[in-house]
Amino acid sequence: MNKAQLVEAIADKVGGRQNAAEAVDAVLDAIVRAVVAGDRVSVTGFGSFEKVDRPARYARNPQTGERVRVKKTSVPRFRAGQGFKDLVAGTKKLPRGGEVAVKKAPKGSLTGGVTAKKAVAKKAAAKKAAAKKTTAKKAAAKKTTAKKAPAKKTTAKKVTAKKTTAKKAAAKKATAKKAPAKKTTTRKTTAKRTARR
């Protein structure tokens, strides 16, 4: 089955050949872009597509038998899901006609069209807004408690600063009083000495 035959096979289910062609193109484009970006595309019951890095190695040319160096490269890989493997192996029977052959994804894991995406985006935005509000409230509460605590510290600092300045002033006054007393005693002693002579 090629791409055109695939489009024909799903045309009746999707609502016309044009819609089927667009759907196939959109799915394939999304898978290719995701794998090229290094993401893994996993479809429940069908399989997964991923990018695999192959290291540089030596290989043999089958025609000449010559040893050839192969550069490092990246290749796409598809791994079939268990449901797909079971259907191909024959351990499970393929459903008739219009039923889905592969297991459906869990409810809520897929988003529908544009409206579903918008609803999901609105929910995510509401969650973000609620998270921002709660973090803002927590931050405001922290700020108020932080403002109260340093205020006490600053008053304590001011009191200790006033005490230290008062002590320094008292010490200066004491030294100032002592200094003139020494001068007077020196004057008296010099006066006594001069009187003795």
The last residue of a domain, from among 86, 113, 140:
113
How many C-beta atoms lie closer than 10 Å to residue 51's C-beta? 16
Residue 57: HSE in the Cβ half-sphere, 13 Å Cα cutoff: 7
Q: Which residue range forms the structural domain that includes residue 128?
A: 114-197
Q: Based on the fold, state whether residues 103 and 126 are members of the same structural domain.
A: no
This prediction has a pTM of 0.48
What was the pLDDT predicted at 164?
Answer: 63
Residue 121: HSE in the Cβ half-sphere, 13 Å Cα cutoff: 7
Better-predicted residue by pLDDT, 165 or 156: 165
**Under 8 Å CB-to-CB from 56, ≥6 apart: which residues?**
69, 70, 71, 72
* Structure token digits, residue 172: 């200066």
CATH number at residue 7: 4.10.520.10
pLDDT tier at 93, thresholds 50, 70, 90: confident
- The pLDDT tens digits for 104-123 are 666 665 544 444 445 555 66
Q: Based on the fold, state whether residues 121 and 155 are members of the same structural domain.
A: yes
Indicate the average pLDDT of the chain.
Answer: 75
Q: Based on the fold, state whether residues 191 and 122 are members of the same structural domain.
A: yes
Q: Based on the fold, state whether residues 36 and 87 are members of the same structural domain.
A: yes
Domain count, the chain: 2
pLDDT of residue 191 exceeding 90, the answer is no
- The pLDDT tens digits for 47-65 are 999 999 999 999 999 999 9
Better-predicted residue by pLDDT, 71 or 154: 71
pLDDT tier at 45, thresholds 50, 70, 90: confident
The last residue of a domain, from among 83, 113, 143:
113
pLDDT tier at 94, thresholds 50, 70, 90: confident
Poorest-confidence range of 16-20, 70-74, 121-125, 151-155? Answer: 151-155
